Structure 1
């Protein structure tokens, strides 16, 4: 029996016919929605008997592999001379620069649909049309050719021959995966308390195409308890891909470790870890141009060989593996990792690859999303991240700078920037305030500015002027994109220098994104209070929920509450008392300690007071630490040591850090984690108050206490860990905060 491989017409033709270099000299970052709108506008002009978005499929049989080719044709037009396959492409290029030979890959796609239709309808010939639409002017340019069935058969045979080596690799790794999953066992001798419940809930959720919100305590093994069942649910082929999404590099490494463990237990699948472009780029500057970067030059001529090479020889395609093969084949490591997302089974990366409208993977087609599950680690972080991703700001000075720099060089560009600046000036206010709507002329002027800027940026390549124009262009584009989402979940903030579309309630956008996927698993040690996080993450009534108790004994943690005021007005007078409390903790509990503070300023104040205790070794978190410096900071916490670390609450060391055993013996959390009052926080408070909620809790207390719980969670990471947690603030004794403390922290003593 022949092996089978399924591929879309677009993917097939891009694999075989895409050629050339990566060139981001200027590439309009227009959204897929805009491209869809252009397609729809052309399709609306079709005659009544014409068809659009016509699904087609054909099984192309070869001696070794049957290739199932499928896709949706943009247009199937009926004319007196016969049917025409219409392929629509939007472009930022001037139409006069486009010839019939400009894009062979587009012709290949059109001919692919023509081949399938002609085969299914037993036609001897068929016409193929390429329709280009200029994005700014909406003008069209069309090319029409007639192809015989013989020509299309020869074309498809050449295409399949070229594709066959890749198809064999895909067939091989698919077979490997399918054979390994049924026999895959949990990669530990036994489940920890609660692990089996979590794994079972994840498996059931994925099988039933539902969503799950799970609070699983620190140390339970959430990563393996979600990855293992998600992979097991691939067994029947209904689920093909998993995104493991997280906000922290360290938790990405944990996901890689989980896959490595399962591989030792017999699992054979492919995964790729996505790393930010500026971190993985081989060059000093991330300039993606063929005349600057040899890894961009000819990228598409070499990428197919690189993909086949890595898929044949590697299973876990981590950052070092991506870099190794990228250097070997002389290709861009970032684009290489993105291209691998089309064929691997597990993708590990930041939230933004799925949720951020600016950088989300556009290549993830709707039909792929339906077979993809999301595992969203440390999901409590996604609330604030979503607010950032779905908000947008434009600054008056940015347009003034464009005016100044381009006034003599391009009068029309300067004029368009001036129009936006004047609109913003009319809306500005000395103090931050909200307005109910954005004047229509501002939106129109932004569109004119972007249109003019696009034309200039395609011609101009270098210089500081171009850099500032590019920045202004993209911020304008993002603003217009977010403006299309504007509804009752947003507030429009105006100030002296800026206009901001602020996403007060991100739940609706998160729900819109996740409902396109097969299932979504939100999990964290601190989804507390549960109802708040389920609501804020877009949860609905029929979603599954799971709240697991701690797997550890309460006597592994000794909790102390020290009722010392850490309010801003009391900090200076209490600094010596606080330093003595922390020193007492160190003396009473041998080993390493981490102390967390609500700000760098407060941390440094206490750090200076603490240094009078000369018999204690200390280390302090620095502002803006690089990854290298963070690793050096953590490496100092060695088993059996006696180091005291000072760090910021809510920072890189209070989440996702895993200091097992005697690497950490004590934690102190100073303050209740409340963010300072701000205009935006007050908007959140008022928004939820007006909806019958406790707005102050939503804006301040719940997010603040989440930071406290996360910091305390650094202490107990395994069954063997013991230690102390000291909570320093008199408000920890108030009922509002008491309710939010974990059960295992409830048996506290009060420091006199």
Structure 2
């Protein structure tokens, strides 16, 4: 008996088991798109409504688990039955909320019925029913728009359920065996794993803090200056925690592909030290697609036809061959087995120990990885959120929703020849938006839009019926785009609470929009964080940390630390320019000349590469026009332009690697593609000049944020303007000192940086600074550069 309890558990949910084993056929967005537009929140609401209507014999949300012993491990299958009807005939009820006209359902969907049959067998085992006992299995389908219900009931003996269920388990057994064997290898490799480098100052303490956070099942916010080695300092203790059995999977979440590459390199380094783990880098679907146009059906993509018949074999073969899985590996395997590379990537991730992916795959309600997070249960996942300062605005975008009036009119014209019913519903939506438009001068806060939401639901129901009948028609792409936007809008409408503001506004092109604006995303993010064990948020610019703690989580007991810098004070010279400002009231030619003169003095103090960051492209151009004649041929200049492509960006950065006689000055925009995430080490960049405090442009949304946080915390201006602005400043300044060998100047050109409200947001490394003028800046820099070894 003791031996039995020490066996490893190989766990899988009922839903994942049946979807994995029973899937077959094609990927076909023409048939499945409507069915898959599943609203988890809306679905949960309908579940509760149906369950409340049932009588006293109906028992809702019954957790079920079955343990199947194997020679080396215990196979654990678990889930939650939507309902068990305890009458003379015990019946399992499985509820599915779908966007579909239920009259088109000829019978239950195979995988849905399979879920219910699993629960029936698991309940029979729990209650020790005899093999000849009859059980009912009921599929309850509910249209999420109309709340119409349709039920399918079937009956099975316990013996029939057992034969079927154990057949499913037998098919899964080779996967469970693989999981067990690989886990043994992984755990053994972690036991001997050491930190791969000599610890930098403060790095050992940082790694210990991360491990302690995981051990205590808490969340941690880390302000980690550049050079602290935060990637390895978070990954290594997380891997050790997995080795101690505290966690099962690591999700490394990034905002940009360059930081994903750094994380992948860290896992590779640990692999070189003996760590054995499966690590998947998830690349965006559009970058994985092998077709000219991303249209996932057998007619347009040869890889879509029969994909589900072949993909499991492709995954299993790949798992035997590789430990690090990248885009190139998935494309090669997809070509070999003729399967969709993106779906292959997601399926492989199910078996991975480490998943490196964009924030979207955990937090976005439209994109998140349902195979990990759809069950609503808490798992032993670790979330490492890199460059976490980006998550605030990203989350606001994920949980907000926009609809534009003109889209309804355009789609109505396209669909009218094919469905008068759908066109009529679109017209009703348009009329309500027209009424909102007449009430709106520039923008308008809306208190109640229930009439519009109801009209959208009616359109959704009509669209579902139409899409079931019509697979192809001219303008289908535009129709589906609007349909999915409406679905997202309704899903976010279900989330509406005091953290949202609804408003209408005229756009620059004179079109009219309505927006559900998620002002404070903390509650929505916390729902996602609760699906894991611990989360570590880290960034070089997570200041003030209380701002990020409030907007990224609702927990009151989150930890926060300030990691020690590995750099010395002598490596940098921090200047604050006096008598200069980027305020709108001061923007005139004299002030542009004033700023240009500061730049000229700074870049003339030592030949090298510099970046100058501005609050806007217009401001950049105005100062550049004054600066260029000052320097003439003494300086080489390059200028960031709007909408630069990948090649142009690489060409821009490539200029910093060339040898040249004169200084190079790159004119850039704060918060843009060169404002963070680039790594120009040593002599490649010796100065960053930041013009202005980075305050976001005044606009309706910024003012909504200001008013909201003024009401809730009395910090409206800080939350809407000052904190986001200073983050851009810190990011831009952070481009200079990247290694212990770097040496450079950081110049803040705005006298507002001398105000306490801004100085209190300076990182600890900025405690020493020099206030300078046009007259003194050259001497200050002469002393700094003269002291260079």
TM-score of the aligned structures, taking structure 2 as reference length: 0.89
Per the alignment, in what secondary structure is the counterpart of residue 164 of structure 1? helix
Instruction: Tell me, yes or no, if structure 1 residue 67 matches structure 2 residue 75.
Output: yes
Partner of 1:589: 606
2:164 to 152, 155, 166: 155
For the 8 Å contact 1:591–1:640, the answer to whether it is kept is no
CA distance in 1, matches of 2:473, 2:220: 50
Partner of 2:226: 218
For the 8 Å contact 2:41–2:491, the answer to whether it is kept is no
C-alpha displacement at 1:474, in angstroms?
2.1
1:129 to 125, 128, 137: 137
CA distance in 1, matches of 2:452, 2:200: 58
Matches within 5 A, 1:273-422: 273-363=281-371, 364-366=373-375, 369-422=378-431
CA distance in 2, matches of 1:456, 1:323: 36
Change in CA separation of 1:14 and 1:484 when aligned onto 2, cut-off 3 Å? closer
C-alpha displacement at 1:205, in angstroms?
1.0
Partner of 1:647: 668
Instruction: Tell me, yes or no, if structure 1 residue 8 matches structure 2 residue 13.
Output: yes
Per the alignment, in what secondary structure is the counterpart of residue 560 of structure 2? strand
1:696 to 717, 728, 731: 717
C-alpha displacement at 1:140, in angstroms?
4.1
Partner of 1:745: 766
C-alpha displacement at 1:211, in angstroms?
1.3
For the 8 Å contact 1:589–1:724, the answer to whether it is kept is no
For the 8 Å contact 1:118–1:124, the answer to whether it is kept is no
For the 8 Å contact 1:589–1:666, the answer to whether it is kept is no
C-alpha displacement at 1:610, in angstroms?
4.2
C-alpha displacement at 1:375, in angstroms?
1.2
Change in CA separation of 1:79 and 1:465 when aligned onto 2, cut-off 3 Å? same
| Mean CA deviation greater in 13-22 or 617-626 | 617-626
Per the alignment, in what secondary structure is the counterpart of residue 637 of structure 1? helix
For the 8 Å contact 2:377–2:531, the answer to whether it is kept is no
Aligned residue pair count: 749
| Mean CA deviation greater in 554-563 or 699-708 | 554-563
CA distance in 2, matches of 1:134, 1:687: 38
1:452 to 444, 453, 462: 462
| Mean CA deviation greater in 634-643 or 277-286 | 634-643
After superposition, the C-alpha distances for 1:365-419 in whole angstroms (9 at most, x for unaligned) are 4565431121111111111222222222222212222333334432222221121
Partner of 2:93: 86
TM-score of the aligned structures, taking structure 1 as reference length: 0.93
Change in CA separation of 1:439 and 1:694 when aligned onto 2, cut-off 3 Å? closer
CA distance in 1, matches of 2:340, 2:65: 34
Could you say what the CA RMSD is over the residues aligned between the two structures, in angstroms? 2.5
Change in CA separation of 1:313 and 1:565 when aligned onto 2, cut-off 3 Å? same
Per the alignment, in what secondary structure is the counterpart of residue 130 of structure 2? coil
Change in CA separation of 1:529 and 1:118 when aligned onto 2, cut-off 3 Å? closer
Partner of 1:164: 173
For the 8 Å contact 2:426–2:459, the answer to whether it is kept is yes
Partner of 2:476: 466
For the 8 Å contact 1:560–1:751, the answer to whether it is kept is no
Partner of 2:783: none
CA distance in 2, matches of 1:74, 1:232: 38
Instruction: Tell me, yes or no, if structure 1 residue 493 matches structure 2 residue 503.
Output: yes
Instruction: Tell me, yes or no, if structure 1 residue 481 matches structure 2 residue 491.
Output: yes
Instruction: Tell me, yes or no, if structure 1 residue 200 matches structure 2 residue 208.
Output: yes
C-alpha displacement at 1:228, in angstroms?
1.1
For the 8 Å contact 2:440–2:504, the answer to whether it is kept is no
Partner of 1:106: 112
Per the alignment, in what secondary structure is the counterpart of residue 181 of structure 1? helix
Per the alignment, in what secondary structure is the counterpart of residue 127 of structure 1? strand
CA distance in 2, matches of 1:425, 1:145: 50
CA distance in 2, matches of 1:173, 1:631: 40
C-alpha displacement at 1:695, in angstroms?
1.7
Per the alignment, in what secondary structure is the counterpart of residue 732 of structure 1? helix
C-alpha displacement at 1:9, in angstroms?
2.4
Change in CA separation of 1:302 and 1:528 when aligned onto 2, cut-off 3 Å? same
| Mean CA deviation greater in 252-261 or 33-42 | 33-42
Change in CA separation of 1:640 and 1:748 when aligned onto 2, cut-off 3 Å? farther
C-alpha displacement at 1:713, in angstroms?
0.6
Matches within 5 A, 1:686-725: 686-725=707-746
CA distance in 2, matches of 1:493, 1:95: 35
Partner of 1:261: 269
Partner of 2:747: 726
1:683 to 670, 679, 704: 704
Partner of 2:592: 575
Partner of 1:602: 619
